[in-house]
Amino acid sequence: VEGRAGGGWEAVTAEGRTERRGETRRADAEGLPCYLECHGTRNRGIYMRYGFREVGKYTYEVEDDEPGSAPYTEAFAMWRPPM
């Protein structure tokens, strides 16, 4: 299922409940797995809490990043079966 970069996988409702985004709900309804790529170990951990597992890790170098920022240097391929 095609998603949006930076759109997030979950949202917090006004009542404070966490719910899945439409793309993931649709994939589950159709019995399809989900795939995404994320940057940073913090984001990887968030997705793992929701059933995604790491299926690949990519490292890279960032040149000419903004002064004073800490750039991501790794990305993770994540997959989860339909729920």
Cα 76 to its chain centre, rounded Å, is 9
**pLDDT band per the 50, 70, 90 thresholds, residue 64:** low
Q: What single-letter DSSP state applies at residue 65?
A: P
Q: Are 30 and 81 in contact (CB under 8 A)?
A: no
Nearest-5° angle of CA 16, CA 18, CA 39? Answer: 125
Tell me how far apart the alpha carbons of residues 30 and 1 are, in angstroms, rounded to a whole number: 10
Place of tokens 């649709």: 26
Q: What is the pLDDT of residues 39-57, one digit of tens each?
A: 888 889 988 988 899 999 9
pLDDT of residue 12: 47
